[in-house]
Structure 1
């Protein structure tokens, strides 16, 4: 068998015809790196860390898709090859360093290799999202974009106390309402923490949401709270109830 035939698809769509107004995107759902990249020169333990994927996010997203009957678009490859939630050409699109870890296999890449990763991994995912959103627009179906992510409990030595964060920019009303529905500050739910949406460091919200005039947010859950599948399912149920209430 040709080894290429064993490789995962760059994008996986679950429940593409779901009736929910929410479209779920999970850009960091996989840590898979093909053998040809030789783990990008990293140790095996590095490939299980947040730098390679969003731990627990895929389990939350899949459970949430089922609970809401919502379409879900998932990545097939690690964010270390190319980040699907970054503009092509940005400093963190193909990171040479992630958190405090140097990524040897991303150092001094040729323009040809960068273009190859865009063609193989980035563009197929974005095309699938565009086609899904176009189909819903043409069918005059209400749509809100929700990215599902996770974040580390500690970043560069600084503890992050939040249990989850709702990242929003122009969708202030929806983002605020969702954060409140999850319990707000009293339940350690923050707004625009631990990150903020920026054009040079985000793609999903600016391009698939705001540029289309759609409400769009990223949901960030602290990864130690969703590492186990049962915990991820509990968070999915909590998110589903909050989204339905919005």
Structure 2
């Protein structure tokens, strides 16, 4: 990757005993120096267009609390988005929200292939290898992907504290949703701030639906993950719900 030796995936607690497998595709805003931050300034590389703020910390905390394996992306979503099908409009965006990405404008097929080969495929190949291994062992598996979203998108305020998204299988997602709704202080809905689709999403359709595995994606509003205390609180809340589900769902 232009001299950057970073692995494309950070694997945490792979031998964990939980039924839950955690994915965090937008865990990092890292870009190799050779990419010149894709022409963005420092503030832009720290905002949501480059990564999901707070998602990585929450994923690591959940991995520990649940004794769950976790797979985190180690490069910025702006180089190539691990949760978008390669070749889709959102895979290597020339514009994200209302910000142009100069370093992604007019790139050729060879560069697109390079990013897919060095970032996208190594991440997902590692997830596939883990899921295949669990299948051989006959281990129950439920996939949960961890994301965060902005309080305001293109000038429109988003009122939800969290959203729980799903693909073809909705039972696991609805169980999480009901667990979160037990807290009357939370405004949580299904399929917000967007809905999962095969055209625009990757992990849920490919690792979940195509394998017949229960899979859900949780989106938490960024301002609710801005501190270590907030991340700890969400990890406690989600771990409690998920641990209870593991006892009631075979």
Same fold (TM over 0.5): yes
Question: In the alignment, which residue of structure 2 is the partner of 1:240?
Answer: 239
Normalized against structure 2, the TM-score is what? 0.95
Question: In the alignment, which residue of structure 1 is the partner of 2:134?
Answer: 136
2:19 to 9, 21, 24: 21
For 1:210 and 1:73, locate their aligned partners in 2 and report how far apart those are by CA, in whole Å.
18
Q: Could you say what the CA RMSD is over the residues aligned between the two structures, in angstroms?
A: 1.4
Q: Secondary structure at the match of 2:204?
A: helix
Question: In the alignment, which residue of structure 2 is the partner of 1:8?
Answer: 6
For 1:129 and 1:48, locate their aligned partners in 2 and report how far apart those are by CA, in whole Å.
26
Question: CA 1:236 to 1:192, structure 2 compared with 1: closer, same or farther past 3 Å?
Answer: same
Q: Deviations over 1:52-74 (max 9, x none)?
A: 00000001000000000000000
1:60 to 55, 58, 61: 58
Question: In the alignment, which residue of structure 2 is the partner of 1:191?
Answer: 190
| TM superposition shift of 1:7 | 3.8
TM alignment of 1:33-44, pairs within 5 A: 33-44=31-42
Does structure 2 retain, via aligned residues, the 8 Å contact 1:151–1:223?
A: yes
Question: In the alignment, which residue of structure 2 is the partner of 1:108?
Answer: 106
Question: In the alignment, which residue of structure 2 is the partner of 1:170?
Answer: 168
| TM superposition shift of 1:5 | 7.4
Normalized against structure 1, the TM-score is what? 0.96
TM alignment of 1:75-154, pairs within 5 A: 75-154=73-152
Residue segments in structure 2 that go unaligned for 5+ positions in a row: 246-250
Question: CA 1:184 to 1:203, structure 2 compared with 1: closer, same or farther past 3 Å?
Answer: farther
Q: Which runs of 4+ in 1 moved over 4 A?
A: 3-6
Residue segments in structure 1 that go unaligned for 5+ positions in a row: none
For 2:21 and 2:200, locate their aligned partners in 1 and report how far apart those are by CA, in whole Å.
21
